Structure 1
Amino acid sequence: MSRIETPVTRLLGIDLPIVQAGMSWASSCAELPIAVSNAGGLGVIAAGPMRLPDLARTIEQVREGTDRPFAVNLPLYRRGAEEVMDLLAQMDIPVLIASQGGPRRYLSRFKDLGTLCLHVVAGEEHARKALDAGVDGLIVVGGEAGGHPPAALVSTLVMVRAVARFAPGTPIIASGGLADGAGLAAALALGAGAAQFGTRFLASTESSLHPAYKAAVVSAGVGDTLTVGRDLGVIRVLANDFAARMAELEHGGADVDKRRAHFASTSLRAAALEGDVAAGKVEVGQSAGLIDSILPAAEIVRRLVAEYADTVNGLPPVQEP
């Protein structure tokens, strides 16, 4: 198996600096994390929408399917987050990725267990606080990302570099706008030790998404997403009927109650499981425009490595005068 060694791969015990994002419904399953971990990256179970028995069974299935490290992603705002943490502690997971909340809520109990703790941040202030709290590493998300990008929409190019500059030596995983090996090379050049790929793994054979969702990802262009949800929790979604109406309300100055009603009128589940890609929340990143095929996750990893090598080998050397 190929290896690309970085501070992040050494920390996590993986062969490649490739992390599959924890994506509600898409990786709320065993198949995708198993495939990515077995290919040398870090597979991630998305605990966000999962009931406790389903999550416990999925963790057991991943352990049966791979002897490589894997992670569980937990959005701390989800209902029953404390019960989920109890379960994850009992099951002694190797890596916890937490988002949408403060790390002091969980750090001591998991570090006492030997669990590696990565925290998702979307700004310099949050990154500083997470590091001060003692997290093992950061996933730094830029404005290109699907799902929940930073409200200020600062690009991955700038955000990752900013965090790497004020926290040299910190294990950083760059996320947002990355879909191929050139993106992986760019992430490492910025000072990250790995790249997280979300939308690219949405369009994998192992993701649990409805086929209509996957088809929408493949057919999207780089300009076909927009951010909506001002004052409600910004999300990046594919342009569709839901997003168009949401943007109309926001740009037209509708009051927050009217905007909240439309925002809550549909869900990610409607698109992800039921295939309603017209009226549902189709959360994808701008990198959808760089994706033109649905592939097995192991093949995605293989291509990322090959493209990374081609990119690095194709860079022009410095010529001395």
Structure 2
Amino acid sequence: MSTDVAIDTPVTRLLGINLPIIQAGMSWASSAPELPLAVSRAGGLGVIAAGPMRLPDLERAVDTVRSGTDTPYAVNLPLYRKGADEIIDLLLRKRVPVLIASQGGPKRYLDRFHDAGTICLHVVAGEEHAAKAAAAGVDGLVIVGGEAGGHPPTSMVSTLVMLRAVARTVPGLPLVASGGFADGQGLAAALALGAGAAQFGTRFMASTEANLHPDYKEALLRATVEDTRTVGHGLGVIRAVRNAFTERMAALEAGGGALDDRHAEFASSSLKMAAHDGDVTNGKVEAGQSVGLVGTIMPAAEIIRRLVEEYTAALAGLPSVRARY
């Protein structure tokens, strides 16, 4: 059930949602209808992660979410994935309310989705790509900073700085801040920095609806803010919780290992191993630095309720400006 409060921002107005809370499109975790449906029903924007999904599974997930709520939802599509064109055709046919596209250029899809009435957000990690996407006509941007899990920008510039840089580069365009957010205080910070919403990934991984192996969720709860590291530099960098896999990769990278050796080690592990099979020792336990701020597994609706409660408390706790006499 949707929350009975609303926070009005350029992003909530654009998307038609009550709260500036977006659940990140996370392979496996939201490659199923349960989590996106719960988030959208609670007033945020739930996002189906199409990345690892087969076409029939994606169609069923879209149909389930659409029939389960009359509030907006989104599909995240990495444009580089095999079969992306077929997925684009499916999403156009389904007339999904919101598309969040990543890892590719917006010109490939933008006109067709706009013709179908779909709102298009594009994921960027720097000023140059932000300017190009804005010039192409996207409706808004998701800005990813170095704290993010999964695939952070290779520059590793923090969300704190990157968001301000992009806001100056594309003034007036609705922005979503992503990377490092796990509580309502973070949401308040994102809005203060010029975003119209914050995207929460790791926080929603630790939800009852997240489509993750229980051992993956437990690994998230054990981790501190210092327990992630980036590996795969030059191969498609990821941020993941430290385990035997990340240590092997880090040793190869620190020792100047040959590219073929690093590629072989990187390819020997996968997110599926951890997320689906529960191998949190040798799989890729992708998570953001905010993992250390996540201490409990709870329903997505309760996560959203607490985010709003914390946001309200954060605003009330800010010192007011007064004149000096």
Q: What's the TM-score, normalizing by structure 1?
A: 0.99
Q: Does 1:12 align with 2:8?
A: no
RMSD: 0.5
Q: CA deviation at 1:319?
A: 2.0
Q: Which residue of 1 aligns with 2:61?
A: 58
Amino acid at match of 2:228: T
Q: Measure how far apart 1:168 and its partner are.
A: 1.8
Give the counterpart of 2:310 among 299, 307, 311.
307
SS of the residue corresponding to residue 199 of structure 2 reads strand
Alpha-carbon separation, structure 1, partners of 2:37 and 2:117: 22
What residue identity is the alignment partner of 2:229?
Answer: L
- Ranges in structure 2 where 5+ consecutive residues have no aligned partner: none
- Deviation beyond 6 Å, 4+ runs, structure 1: none
Task: Write the distance in 2 (CA, Å) between the matches of 1:236 and 1:126.
Answer: 21
- Post-superposition Cα deviations, 1:99-132, rounded to whole Å, max 9, x if no partner, equal 0111111111111111000000011111111101
Q: Secondary structure at the match of 2:66?
A: helix
Quote the offset at 1:266 in angstroms.
1.2
| Cα shift at 1:79 | 0.7
Deviation sequence 1:165-220 (CA, Å, 0-9, x none): 22221100000000000000000000000000000000000000000000111111
The match for 1:182 is 185
**Whole-Å Cα distance in 2 between the matches of residues 115 and 65 of structure 1?**
19
1:70 corresponds, among 62, 70, 73, to 73
Aligned mates of 1:208, 1:145 — CA distance in 2: 19
Structure 2 residue corresponding to 1:99, chosen from 102, 121, 139:
102
Asked if 1:253 corresponds to 2:242, the answer is no
In the alignment, is the contact (CA less than 8 A) between 2:130 and 2:170 conserved in 1?
Answer: no
Partner of 1:84: 87
Give the 3-state SS of the residue equivalent to 1:55 in structure 2: helix
Once residues 167 and 323 of structure 2 are traced to their aligned partners in structure 1, the CA distance between those partners, rounded to angstroms, is 28
Amino acid at match of 1:78: R
Partner Cα separation in structure 1 for residue 128 and residue 260 of structure 2: 30
Preserved contact between residue 145 and residue 157 of structure 2 (Cα < 8 Å): yes
Alignment of 1:63-212 (within 5 A): 63-212=66-215
For 1:261-280, what aligned pairs fall within 5 Å after superposition? 261-280=264-283
SS of the counterpart of 2:212? coil
Number of matched residues?
A: 321
**How far apart in 2 are the matches of 1:233 and 1:90?**
32
Deviations 1:48-89 (A, max 9, x none): 000000000110000111110000000011111111111111
**For 1:7-30, what per-residue CA distance to the aligned partner results, in whole angstroms no more than 9, with x for missing partners?**
000000000000000000000011
The 1-side partners of 2:246 and 2:81 are apart by 23
- CA distance in 2: counterparts of 1:169 and 1:182, whole angstroms: 24
- Equivalents in 1 of 2:252, 2:103: separation in Å? 26
Q: Quick one: which amino acid aligns to residue 211 of structure 2?
A: S
Partner amino acid, structure 1, of 2:295: D
TM-score by length of 2: 0.98
Percent identical: 69
Task: Letter of the 2:157 partner, please give it.
Answer: V
